[in-house]
Structure formats: C-alpha cells, structure tokens
Amino acid sequence: MRLSYPIIESNLKRKWASIEIEQILPVLLQLV
C-alpha cells in the first residue's frame, strides 16, 4: 500500500486539478 499510495495521490491531485480548472475557467471568462 505504501509503495502505491504516492501514485494514487498524484492521480487524485491531477483529477482534482482538472476538475478545478473546468469549474474556474467559465467563472474567469465571465469576469473578463
């Protein structure tokens, strides 16, 4: 588990980053 955990964590961070970008982009476009 400990060996695979960093890989899982990095994958989750990538997914969260992509989700945040998808949610933030429309808001930024509205502000501009």
pLDDT in tens, 12-26: 999 989 999 899 988
Give the C-alpha separation, 17 to 11, whole Å.
10
Q: What is the pLDDT of residue 28?
A: 85
Tell which wins on pLDDT, 3 or 25: 25
Give the C-alpha separation, 10 to 16, whole Å.
10
Q: What is the pLDDT of residue 6?
A: 85
- State the pTM of this model: 0.47
Please state, rounded to an integer, the average pLDDT across all residues of the chain: 86
Tell which wins on pLDDT, 32 or 1: 32
